[in-house]
Amino acid sequence: MYRKIAAGEVVERPASVVKEFVENSIDAKAERIVVEVDKGGIERIKVSDNGFGIEKEDMPLVFEHHATSKIETEEDLLNIESMGFRGEALSSVSSVSKVSLISKTKKAQTGYFYAVSGGDFLDSGTKAFQDGTSIEVRDLFFNVPARKKFLKTPYTEFLHITRVFVDLCLANINKDFKLIHNGREVYNLSAVSDLSLRIKQLFGKNVYENLIPVFCDHPHIKISGFVGKPQMSYDSKSKQFIIVNNRPVKDRIISSAVREGFGSLIMHSASPLYFIKITAPLDFVDANIHPRKEEVRFINPNLIYSLVKNTISQSLSKEDLSFRPEGMSSYKSSNVENVSGRQGYYIHEKVRDVSFANPLSVSDTLEFYSQLGTQDTFEVLVFNNLYIVANINDSLEIYDQHALHERVLYEKFKKALLEKTPSSQVLLTSQSFEFAEDDFQIINRNLKLFIKLGFEIEVWGTRAIEIKAIPSFLGANFSAVTNMLCEFAEDLKEKNKFKGVSSMEEKALSIMACRSAVKAGDKLTHTEALGLLKENIKLKGIYTCPHGRPFKIKITKEDLEKMFKRV
Ligand SMILES: Nc1ncnc2c1ncn2[C@@H]1O[C@H](COP(=O)(O)OP(=O)(O)OP(=O)(O)O)[C@@H](O)[C@H]1O
Ligand SMILES: [Mg+2]
């Protein structure tokens, strides 16, 4: 009974089993680790490795509570190098499931298997096996219905497994990893020499091409890794990784230090993308504070905080961060032709020359400034490349150029959608993009929605999407397209977070509008600023961007008089 209770601490869900087993493989110095799961791991989890194996005599011991081969003295506990040290994972897992273990050490003649169900011995004996260990769990929580009830759907449980797997792949780049779900190969990664290459394997080319290296070589603490360029910083909470002494962890101190390091380079509400590796002396970090070893404690958290923050801000200050749409050079304007409607025929007319710095200028999205008559002209001034200041009807009006443009585009896209006329740009050569598994699954489940918005989009191989056409209003900025798809996926992961918008469709539109709108800092011409203000007039009764931020502040003559105490 007590073992079942203890198991609750270590084994929360199938993902916890995967974590414990892969960590055991890492401790066994395996170079190749294969994780196979069925039905989100609820039905079956199997982890195989080519590590040093378990001796026949030790097999019964590994299922015992507090049986570890990794720690001998109390002092060892202060210098934990291995992933495991408590000797409770196997005992906990085996008390709430059916486990069969098979292993062979180098010096053994043959393999040996050992099977346990609900903590009770079932069977054991010799069995042919290659060097290494394979451990399989079936029917997790079969004897603890109360816990089984709390498991989510196989889909959700698998996403948890993916996170654990990706964590461990990032922390151990020198090993081969494979993940198979219901017979489908999800990841197949060979060992690499640099973290950025592992990031490329896991998250695709788009993330890889937008990384900024970070580095700090303090006498005791080494910080390395990558952060995403500021334009990658949508709500990317699921692409934030912290590894401390090779252990993937969650850490509020480090994550807020990274965020602080970005300073005002990203919007207040945005979450940056990062992969941070910290190596500190073993006695500087307590790894023994969390039941599932998901957190660590630093002896001097303030030092870590300031080191991380400074490392990030210094690394960012070294980069040229002026906004340039990535991947542009590889997509020549000849790739893009315009089609109206979605019949799939080409109208041979180039949409735009995509060589300019901003993928979609304001003038591209507003129709009419060329026809602006003098009577429509207001006095305008663009302040700080962000605020449009105008004298309109005896009032001083100040607009946030990004928020206003975002709203203008949003209304436009919405109208096109309502009238069922979203036009597409067909790409002469279609493009495929690889995504992380969690993002891929969500995009895959929402293909219909994207098609409705003007995408021509299909699943293409493992974790890849092929895009044949994109909505015209997105411009030819492919980086923005993939970021948009990721951002959409990211938001759907936390469904309740659809700030200010009610449906998925609106959400997608608001992301597209945000990604296509002029940014703070983009230089608008006088005509463009005027054009935006003219569009504003059409937005009767709307004062906020699709996320609910105001885009306009109005100060009347009377307000000014009051402020200057003239009345
Ligand atoms: N894949 C493996 N290869 C070799 N030995 C293994 C493997 N998996 C488990 N073992 C052995 O089984 C023992 C028990 O594993 P278990 O995970 O329960 O404990 P641990 O790793 O020592 O500590 P923790 O509970 O903190 O993970 C390990 O100490 C190790 O000797
Ligand atoms: Mg272990």
- Whether the pLDDT of residue 223 is over 90: the answer is yes
- Å from CA of 56 to ligand 1 middle: 14
- Range 392-421 burial, b when 16+ CB lie within 10 A, else e: eeeeebebbbbbbbbbbbbbbbbebbeeee
Pocket probe for ligand 1: among 9, 31, 62, the residue whose CB has the most ligand atoms within 8 Å is 62
Residue 62: what pLDDT?
94
Q: Whose CA is nearest to atom 10 of ligand 1?
A: 24
How distant is the alpha carbon of residue 125 from its chain centre?
45
Q: Which CATH number fits domain 197-318: 3.20.20.70, 3.30.230.10, 2.40.10.10, 3.20.19.10?
A: 3.30.230.10
Q: Which CATH number fits domain 2-191: 3.30.565.10, 3.40.309.10, 1.10.10.60, 3.40.630.10?
A: 3.30.565.10
Q: Whose CA is nearest to atom 30 of ligand 1?
A: 69
Residue 383 has which token pair? 């302040």
Ligand 1 surroundings by CB, under 6 angstroms = 20, 24-25, 27-28, 49, 51-54, 62, 67-70, 84-91, 133
Q: Using CA atoms, how far apart are residues 66 and 567, in angstroms rounded to an integer?
A: 81
Share of the chain above pLDDT 90, in %: 49
Alpha helix segments (H runs only) across 106-186:
145-148, 154-171
| Positive/negative CA dihedral, 327, 330, 332, 337 | negative
- Å from CA of 24 to ligand 2 middle: 5
- Nearest bound ligand to CA 54? 1
Residue 236: what pLDDT?
67
Quick: pLDDT tens for 403-424: 999 999 889 888 888 887 777 8
- Å from CA of 68 to ligand 2 middle: 8
CATH placement of domain 333-555: 3.30.1540.20
Q: Which amino acid is at 218?
A: H
Pocket probe for ligand 1: among 3, 26, 27, 104, the residue whose CB has the most ligand atoms within 8 Å is 27
Ligand 1 atom closest to the Cα of residue 86 is 26
Residue 109 has which token pair? 């003649």
Residues with CB under 5 A from ligand 2 (ion): 24, 84, 89
Residue 425 pairs in a beta bridge with 338, 470
3-state secondary structure 281-292: CHHHEECCCCCC
Q: Which residues contact 238 (CB under 8 A, 6 or more apart)?
A: 163, 436, 438, 439, 490, 493
State the helix-helix crossing angle for 154-171 and 195-203, rounded to 10 degrees. 160
Average predicted confidence (pLDDT) for the chain: 84
Q: Whose CA is nearest to atom 8 of ligand 1?
A: 24
- Å from CA of 116 to ligand 2 middle: 17
Q: Using CA atoms, how far apart are residues 481 and 455, in angstroms rounded to an integer?
A: 10
Residue 354 has which token pair? 């995509």
Ligand 1 atom closest to the Cα of residue 67 is 14
Residue 478: what pLDDT?
66
Q: What is the mean pLDDT of residues 539-543?
A: 82
Residue 39 has which token pair? 């039905």
How distant is the alpha carbon of residue 409 from its chain centre?
26
- Å from CA of 294 to ligand 2 middle: 13
Residue 305 has which token pair? 């905080």
- Å from CA of 88 to ligand 2 middle: 7
Q: Whose CA is nearest to atom 9 of ligand 1?
A: 24
Shortest CA distance to 486 belongs to which of 441, 531, 448? 441
Shortest CA distance to 21 belongs to which of 94, 74, 78? 94
**Radius of gyration, CA atoms only, the chain:** 28
Q: Using CA atoms, how far apart are residues 480 and 469, in angstroms rounded to an integer?
A: 14
Is the Cβ–Cβ distance between 35 and 179 less than 8 Å? Answer: yes
Is the Cβ–Cβ distance between 140 and 10 less than 8 Å? Answer: no
- Most confident option among 77-86, 195-204, 540-549: 195-204
Please tell me which residue, 438 or 21, carries the higher pLDDT value: 21
Pocket probe for ligand 1: among 10, 23, 68, the residue whose CB has the most ligand atoms within 8 Å is 68
Dihedrals phi, psi of 433, to nearest 5 degrees:
-130, 135
- Å from CA of 90 to ligand 2 middle: 7
**Residues composing the chain:** 567
Domain boundaries, the chain: 2-191, 197-318, 333-555
Shortest CA distance to 97 belongs to which of 81, 72, 116, 112? 116
Using pLDDT thresholds of 50, 70 and 90, give the confidence band for residue 348. Answer: very low
Residue 344 has which token pair? 């799939």
Residue 46: what pLDDT?
98
Q: Whose CA is nearest to atom 28 of ligand 1?
A: 68
Q: What is the mean pLDDT of residues 66-87?
A: 84
Alpha helix segments (H runs only) across 234-330:
252-262, 301-318
Flag whether the pTM goes above 0.85. no
Pocket probe for ligand 1: among 19, 65, 90, the residue whose CB has the most ligand atoms within 8 Å is 90
- Å from CA of 92 to ligand 1 middle: 12
Is the Cβ–Cβ distance between 382 and 388 less than 8 Å? Answer: yes
Quick: pLDDT tens for 152-187: 999 999 999 999 999 999 999 999 999 999 999 999
Q: Using CA atoms, how far apart are residues 308 and 215, in angstroms rounded to an integer?
A: 9
- Å from CA of 68 to ligand 1 middle: 6
- Whether the pLDDT of residue 147 is over 50: the answer is yes
Using pLDDT thresholds of 50, 70 and 90, give the confidence band for residue 7. Answer: low
- Å from CA of 20 to ligand 2 middle: 5
